[in-house]
Structure 1
Amino acid sequence: MPQLSDRTATFTDSVIRRMTRVSNKYGAINLSQGFPDFEPPKPILDRLAEVTKENFHQYATTWGAQNFREALAKKHEHFSGQKVNPDTQIVVTCGSTEAMMAAMMSVTNPGDKVIVFSPFYENYGADTILSGATPIYVPLDPVNFNFDSNVLEDAFRQKPKAIIVCNPSNPCGKVFTYDELKIIADLAVKYDTFVITDEVYEHILYAPHKHVYMSTLPGMEDRTIICNSLSKTYSITGWRLGYTIANPQITERIKKVHDFLTVGAAAPLQEAAVTGLNFKDEYYAELQNHYTHMKNLFCGGLKNLGLKFNEPQGAYYVLLDISEYGWKSDLEFCDALAQKVGVGAVPGSSFFKEDVNNLIRFHFAKKDETLTEALNRLEKINVLKR
């Protein structure tokens, strides 16, 4: 048999998705893969039921149905203050995963470099390699997840083509401040670098933290590529509806890449999701209240158990410190946690370039009863001490 691709030879399967399978194997409560166990908003589901009886069963426009792109543009302008053209600046993709891949392939050449903050969502490194580029990892402080601006500029001095900024951040829940984004933006302008943002958690924030859109900073509108999705905001992770927002020149290239990657996102789901994009501000306020409640319930429970963890500023993840349990492998710890305690988690090492084996990631996008049961099971976590 001919030799397989060198580019993908070092790939493993997704550790996040693997831990879902481990959770299922042991009947553990799955706090690993970040999807909710509660229903999407009823108006979206009601519209989906109607759509099944209407004429939306064939291809939509390759880069997204017209009304869907118009609704996206309207929503983005409402929250960011930035007007975008739905015809020349938006591409609808099969989830933000494809949005990131299409963005990377549109702006990088083989041999280019891309800055990635560590910890990072596991796809970023793979996307960089699949694009033929080389990642430059810049560490975030493991306590407060801030970055050293001097270390960051050292990375920019290597003349990267792009930097990826996940805000709010998966897995650490960091929300980048305006001042932090301004440092990144100034360096991007100085070194003529694209900024690719992952903003899927833009509406999941905890007071007093606010989401700042990188594209609104001085000099950034034309060099920022926004990658986003409806998955987290409307609890429809399985619908795989994502999108990019960028200037027309970049968008025209992304359209072509997207066309050959997936042709287009599901037409009936786009039609149904327009309902969500037209929700009023009250929906997003309630969403924030809902997630704040879940964070307080879960983090409060972890505190009562005497466990060490970081309190997220946004998104819905917690990194738990397992140093005291004496395991050399966080992956083995997570397997034992699912088998003996009945709770699924993701080993933190899958998110760090550095040698980090003392953190695991939980997510708390779950019903109250699910989180309460998970906390009850975690009461016996000390059985894992060595």
Structure 2
Amino acid sequence: MPIPAFRVATFGTTIFTEINTLAQQYGALNLGQGKPDFDTPPDIVEQLVQALRSGQYNQYAPGPGTPSLRKAVADHAARFYNLEIDAANGVVITAGATEGILSAILGLVDPGDEVIVIEPFYDSYVPNILMAGAVPVYVPLHPPDWTFDPDELRAAFSEKTRALILNTPQNPTGRVFTRKELMLIAKLCSAYDATVIADEVYEHLTFGDARHIPIATLPGMFERTVTVSSAGKLFSATGWKVGWVYGHPDLVAGVGRAHQFVTFAVHHPTQEAVAYALNLPDAYYEGFRSMYETKRRLMMSALD
């Protein structure tokens, strides 16, 4: 009798499927997943409706993504981080950030390579590494502040290190890595010629004195970083599954080569709506953070 392939034999059910099943079974609130309990803003939804009805976007999108969305991603990186992104060659639109991470690993990591993972981590990282035939190497964050030990980080690097997955703001701890921490990561990645796969889906959700610093903005790091983000978290549209990867064209080319055989293309009309959303004024992002800050204060007061 045929059995599952060895590469997936050890994979269980994703924790998010388990959480959703239990929440539905018991009528519980799901606080363990980045899935908002409020809808996508109506004007963004209306853009999707118009795209669907126009008749222009109901066939395959270009494999790397629509020109409008790739430009919007590049413009967003320029507006918020002063990064100059080549929209035509430095951006790939993916089926959510999860596919972006998989395509980045498949396109930039070879079998036998080591990939450093900071734990705890988003549950797709390690299965993606294993499916690529690579080896995960773990660096723990230590409570209560969820910081890493610099010596443990240094010890994780070797001549086999090909990449490091950096998630900041971090899921699930909420840790926002400081410039000092990022500088050490950058120094080690440069010394060992490692690529950073930067998962930044919570880039606009920082509170208090915490400030998100994309590692690609540090000296010498743009050339060795691909950045992953997603419309799901930014626009309360997790069901749309639209994400993106951007960076130096030489790195993004590898991501794109993998992406074309993972999904080929992403839902066409939704890309038009997300392009509109990314071009919303700064007031949207300020209101987005403020709304979450209110919810955060409410939760903290309940837990005190």
- TM-score tier after normalising by the smaller chain length: over 0.9
CA distance, structure 1, for counterparts of residue 89 and residue 275 of structure 2: 19
State the AA in 2 paired with 1:20.
N
The residue correspondences of 1:288-303 to structure 2 (distance < 5 A) are: 288-303=289-304
CA distance, structure 2, for counterparts of residue 263 and residue 71 of structure 1: 20
Structure 1 residue 7 and structure 2 residue 10: aligned?
Answer: no
TM-aligned CA deviation for residue 32 of structure 1: 2.6
CA distance, structure 1, for counterparts of residue 47 and residue 108 of structure 2: 37
Show the counterpart of 2:109.
Answer: 108
CA contact (8 A) 2:159 2:192 kept: no
Determine what percentage of the aligned residue pairs are the same residue.
Answer: 37
TM-score by length of 1: 0.77
CA contact (8 A) 1:105 1:257 kept: yes
Which secondary structure state, in structure 2, belongs to the residue aligned with residue 264 of structure 1? coil
Show the counterpart of 1:194.
Answer: 195
CA distance, structure 1, for counterparts of residue 144 and residue 292 of structure 2: 23
Structure 1 residue 276 and structure 2 residue 277: aligned?
Answer: yes
TM-aligned CA deviation for residue 33 of structure 1: 2.6
CA contact (8 A) 1:43 1:275 kept: no
Show the counterpart of 1:26.
Answer: 26
The residue correspondences of 1:247-258 to structure 2 (distance < 5 A) are: 247-258=248-259
CA distance, structure 2, for counterparts of residue 60 and residue 8 of structure 1: 30
Which secondary structure state, in structure 2, belongs to the residue aligned with residue 273 of structure 1? helix
Which secondary structure state, in structure 2, belongs to the residue aligned with residue 195 of structure 1? strand
Show the counterpart of 1:329.
Answer: none
Gaps of 5+ in 1: 304-386
CA contact (8 A) 1:200 1:228 kept: yes
CA distance, structure 2, for counterparts of residue 32 and residue 117 of structure 1: 19
TM-aligned CA deviation for residue 23 of structure 1: 0.9
TM-aligned CA deviation for residue 243 of structure 1: 0.7
Which secondary structure state, in structure 1, belongs to the residue aligned with residue 164 of structure 2? strand
CA distance, structure 2, for counterparts of residue 183 and residue 36 of structure 1: 34
Show the counterpart of 1:130.
Answer: 131
TM-aligned CA deviation for residue 263 of structure 1: 0.8
CA distance, structure 1, for counterparts of residue 86 and residue 185 of structure 2: 26
Show the counterpart of 1:181.
Answer: 182
Structure 1 residue 262 and structure 2 residue 254: aligned?
Answer: no
TM-aligned CA deviation for residue 129 of structure 1: 0.6
Show the counterpart of 2:244.
Answer: 243
CA contact (8 A) 2:107 2:256 kept: no
Give the number of equivalent residue pairs.
303
Show the counterpart of 1:140.
Answer: 141
Which secondary structure state, in structure 2, belongs to the residue aligned with residue 151 of structure 1? helix
CA distance, structure 2, for counterparts of residue 132 and residue 37 of structure 1: 37
CA contact (8 A) 1:17 1:33 kept: no
Supply the RMSD in Å over aligned alpha carbons. 1.0
CA distance, structure 2, for counterparts of residue 62 and residue 282 of structure 1: 32
State the AA in 1 paired with 2:179.
Y
CA distance, structure 1, for counterparts of residue 265 and residue 300 of structure 2: 39
TM-aligned CA deviation for residue 67 of structure 1: 0.8
TM-aligned CA deviation for residue 246 of structure 1: 1.9
TM-aligned CA deviation for residue 158 of structure 1: 5.3
TM-aligned CA deviation for residue 157 of structure 1: 2.9
CA distance, structure 2, for counterparts of residue 76 and residue 201 of structure 1: 14
Assess, with a 3 A threshold, how the Cα gap between structure 1 residues 2 and 17 changes in structure 2: closer, same or farther: closer
CA distance, structure 2, for counterparts of residue 19 and residue 244 of structure 1: 28
Show the counterpart of 1:16.
Answer: 16
Which secondary structure state, in structure 2, belongs to the residue aligned with residue 52 of structure 1? helix
Gaps of 5+ in 2: none
Show the counterpart of 1:208.
Answer: 209
CA distance, structure 1, for counterparts of residue 275 and residue 219 of structure 2: 31
CA contact (8 A) 2:7 2:131 kept: yes
CA distance, structure 2, for counterparts of residue 34 and residue 103 of structure 1: 22
CA distance, structure 2, for counterparts of residue 283 and residue 230 of structure 1: 14
The residue correspondences of 1:78-93 to structure 2 (distance < 5 A) are: 78-93=79-94
Show the counterpart of 1:309.
Answer: none
Deviates more, 1:41-50 or 1:163-172: 41-50
State the AA in 2 paired with 1:171.
P
State the AA in 2 paired with 1:170.
N
State the AA in 2 paired with 1:69.
R
Which secondary structure state, in structure 1, belongs to the residue aligned with residue 79 of structure 2? helix
TM-aligned CA deviation for residue 2 of structure 1: 3.6
State the AA in 2 paired with 1:200.
V
CA contact (8 A) 2:203 2:212 kept: yes
TM-score by length of 2: 0.97
Show the counterpart of 1:160.
Answer: 161
TM-aligned CA deviation for residue 3 of structure 1: 4.2
CA contact (8 A) 1:20 1:32 kept: no
CA distance, structure 2, for counterparts of residue 128 and residue 203 of structure 1: 27
